[in-house]
Amino acid sequence: MSEYLKKFKGLVSEENLKKLEKIKNENVLKFIYDSIKLCKPSDVFICDDSPDDILHIKNMAIVSGEESAALLIPGHTFHFDGINDQGRDRKVTKFLVPKGEKLPEALNQIEREEGLKEILSLLKGSMKGKTMIVRFLTLGVPDSVFAIPCMECTDSWYVAHSVSLLYNKGFKTFTNLKEDEEIFYTLHSAGKLDERKISIDYDKKRVYIDYTKNTVYSVNTQYAGNSIGFKKLALRLAIRKAAREGWLAEHFMIVGVKGPNGRKTYLAGAFPSGCGKTSTAMLEGETILADDLAYVREINGECRACNVECGIFGIIRDVNPEDDPLIYKTLTSPGEIIFTNVLVKDGRVWWTGMGKELPEEGINYSGKWYKGKKDENGKEILPSHKNARYTLLLSSLENCDENLYNKNGVLLSGIMYGGRDYKGYVPVQEGFDYVHGIIVYGVGLETETTFAIVEEEGKYEINVMSIQDFLSISIGDYIRNYIEFGKKLKKKPLIFGVNYFLRDLKTEEFLNERRDKHVWLKWMELRCHNDVKVRKTPTGLIPLYEDLKILFKDVRGKDYKKEDYIKQFTIRVNENIKKLSRVKRFVEEKIPDAPEEVHKIIDDQRERLLKAKERFGDYIEPEKFEIIS
C-alpha cells in the first residue's frame, strides 16, 4: 500500500479511502494529503464522478447556503460573491518566481519562497469546520492528445458544483495516470464566511501561481475566475507547457460555420472583452464548439483544435432575446444553470440589458437592494453587476457542436482576431499569409476605449492575441512559438482581422449593424475553400462587392448598397499608418525579444500604405485595388 494511503487512515472516511485506493499516482496522493494537513478540514469528500457524488455536490451547494434554489424555473440556482469580489483581481494574482529567474516585467510576480510562505500561512487552518472537496478533471477532451489531467481541493461547494458544469470528469483518467504524468493542481479556500456565505477577508485575497509545480493557490475569494483554478489561471500554466512542446494554448472561441452543400468549416477567434467574441460564437444557424479557451495541435500535418472546457462561464449583461436568442432561450428554460451576482426578485433572476424593465428592489451581491442604493464610496450599486455571470453545460445549448468530445479535435481552417477599432481597419480582411496575419491582426490586436476624431494618448490598448494578461512566458517567445507551429502544418489556417466597430469619421455613426458580423463569418468560410476572389489592399485581402451583395441577401435578407461597401472597405491610409506606429512603439517598448518577422512585416505594411497614398490619396475606395484569386 502507498505510504500516503496509510496516512489517510483517520483523516478520511472508509468510503472515501476506498476511492483514493484506486489512484496509484503518488504525486496526486501527496497533494491531497499535504492539503488536508495544511488546511485542517473537519471532513473530506472525494468525488469519483459517480452520479450520486455529482448530485451530492449540487445538493450540498444548496444545503450549505452557498447557492439558493429559490427560483421558479427548475434546475436554476443563484450564488453571490460579495460586493468586493466581483472579478479577476490582477493586483493579487502573482507568479511565484524562483530566485535567479525572471518573468516579463508586465507580469505580477513575487519571489517564490516569500510568496509560498505568505499564501501557505493564509491557507493554514482555513478549512476548519468545513469540508474539503476533491475534484479530478481533465482540460481538453478526455483520453485524447489534447487532455491535461487537473485536480482541485476546495472548501466551496459552489466551486465544486461549478466545475461539474465547466470541465470534463477525470476520476477515471486519474486511476490510470503514469507516475511521471504532468498534472495541474489547485488548492482553494474561500476562507472565513459571513452569514450569506460570502468571503469576509477579501483584503487578504491572494491568487498565486507556482509554475515550477504547476500549482495554483487561491484564498479568501469565491469569484470563479479566482477560485476555479482551471480558467485563466491554468491557461497560464498551459501556455508554458504548449511553448515547451510546440502547440498552442489559446484564448479562442471556435464556431462551426455552415457553407454550401452541407459543408461545415471551423473558425477560431480571439477578441478582447467587449469586442464581439460571444456573439460571434453564438450566431444563429451555426454551431458553437468553444466560447473561451482552446488547445491547438498539429496532428498529421493538420491544424486541429478542441475546447478546453465543456461548459460556459459567461457574462450575462446585455443577453437579450433580440441579439442573443439562443443563449436567452437557454437561460429562461428549465435546466442546470448557476447564476452569479444577478438581481433576484419574485423567484426570478434579472440582469442589465435583458430586454425587460428591471424591478426597483430585490436581493443581489450587496444584500437587500433598492434603486439608488450606494456603496461605501458613494457609488451607485447596479441591480445586476456588470460582470454578473451564468454557468451551464455547453451541451444544453441547441447549437452545441456535435464534435465537442471528438478526441481528434476539429480541423481549424481559419483564425480571426477582432478588436474595437473605430477609425482604422475595415470590417473583415484576410492576411497575405499565415505570418502576416498573426502579426498585423494578432500581435497588433488593438482596442480603442473611446471614439475621438483627434487622437489622444491612452485611448488605445494593444492586447496581443487577446491573451496578453495570461502570458507566463515572454511575448516574443509566445509569438515565436506561433510562427514555428505554422511551419509544421501542411495547410495553414487562413488568418483574418475583423472589426465590428468601424465608424464614419464625420458623423461618428457605426457603419455596420450588430448582426452584419454573420455576413463576414460566411465570407470567411468561403475564403477558406477559395470559393470567392478578393481585392489586394495594403493591409490585407478584402471581399468583392458582388460577393457581399449575395451574402447580405442570403444571410440578412436585405439589400447591400454599393455606397455602404465603399464606406466600409475604403482604406483609410493615415489612420492605418497611425495604427502601425502605435503597434511599432508597443513592440519596441514591450517586446524586446520580438522575432525579426514582426519588425519586417510592420515596416513592409507601412511602406505599402505610403506607396498607395502617393498613388491614390488618403482615402482609397476598394475598387481601386486589383482583384486576385
* Per-residue pLDDT reduced to its tens digit, 573-591: 999 999 999 999 999 999 9
Q: What pLDDT sits at residue 454?
A: 39
Q: What angle do CA 232, 122, 467 make, to 5 degrees?
A: 15
Which CATH number do you get for residue 19? 3.40.449.10
pLDDT-derived band at 449, boundaries 50, 70, 90: low
Last residue of a domain, one of 222, 245, 268: 245
Q: Are residues 233 and 184 in the same domain?
A: yes
In this structure, the number of other CB atoms found within 10 A of the CB of residue 482 comes to 21
468 located within any domain: yes
Q: Are residues 161 and 60 in the same domain?
A: yes
- Sheet with 337-340: strands ordered across: 76-79, 337-340, 389-393, 311-315
Q: Specify burial of residue 74 (Cβ count, 10 A radius: 0-12, 13-18, 19+).
A: exposed
Reported as a single tens digit per residue, the pLDDT across 375-430 is 888 989 999 998 899 999 999 999 999 999 999 999 999 999 999 999 999 999 99
Reported as a single tens digit per residue, the pLDDT across 80-123 is 998 777 767 778 899 999 998 888 777 889 999 999 999 999 99
217 located within any domain: yes
pLDDT-derived band at 60, boundaries 50, 70, 90: very high
Burial string for 232-266 (b: 16+ CB within 10 Å, else e) reads bbbbbbbbbbbbeeebbbbbbbbbbbeeeeeebbb
Please name the amino acid found at residue 142: P
Enclosing domain of residue 288:
250-310+405-628
pLDDT-derived band at 455, boundaries 50, 70, 90: very low
Tell me how far apart the alpha carbons of residues 149 and 298 are, in angstroms, rounded to a whole number. Answer: 20
| Cell numbers representing residue 524 in the block | 470567411
Return the active site residues: 275
Last residue of a domain, one of 373, 394, 415: 394
Greatest Cα pair distance in the chain: 82
Q: Are residues 96 and 154 in the same domain?
A: yes
74 located within any domain: no
With a cut of 90, say whether residue 363 has pLDDT above it.
Answer: yes
Q: What pLDDT sits at residue 230?
A: 86
Burial string for 23-43 (b: 16+ CB within 10 Å, else e) reads bebeebbebbbebbebbbbee
75 located within any domain: no
pLDDT mean over 475-503:
96
Of 310, 319, 318, nearest to 292 (Cα)? 310
Reported as a single tens digit per residue, the pLDDT across 152-186 is 999 999 999 999 999 999 999 999 999 889 999 99
Q: Are residues 351 and 293 in the same domain?
A: no
pLDDT mean over 219-247:
90
With a cut of 90, say whether residue 125 has pLDDT above it.
Answer: yes
Q: Are residues 586 and 613 in the same domain?
A: yes
Q: What angle do CA 526, 530, 533 make, to 5 degrees?
A: 90
Q: Are residues 325 and 464 in the same domain?
A: no
329 located within any domain: yes
Q: Are residues 372 and 484 in the same domain?
A: no
Q: Are residues 336 and 302 in the same domain?
A: no
Q: Are residues 103 and 227 in the same domain?
A: yes
Report the Cα 522 to chain-centroid distance in Å.
23
Q: List, in sequence order, every residue forming a beta bridge with 95; answer none if it has no partner.
A: 109, 209
Backbone phi, then psi, for 588, in 5-degree steps? -65, -35
Which CATH number do you get for residue 306? 3.90.228.20
Q: Which helix (H) or strand (E) holds 612?
A: helix 596-616
77 located within any domain: no
Q: Are residues 431 and 375 in the same domain?
A: no
DSSP H stretches of helix in 134-200: 157-166, 171-175
| pLDDT over 90 percentage in the chain | 83
Q: What pLDDT sits at residue 457?
A: 42
76 located within any domain: no
As for how many domains the chain has, the answer is: 3
* Claim: this prediction has a pTM higher than 0.85: yes
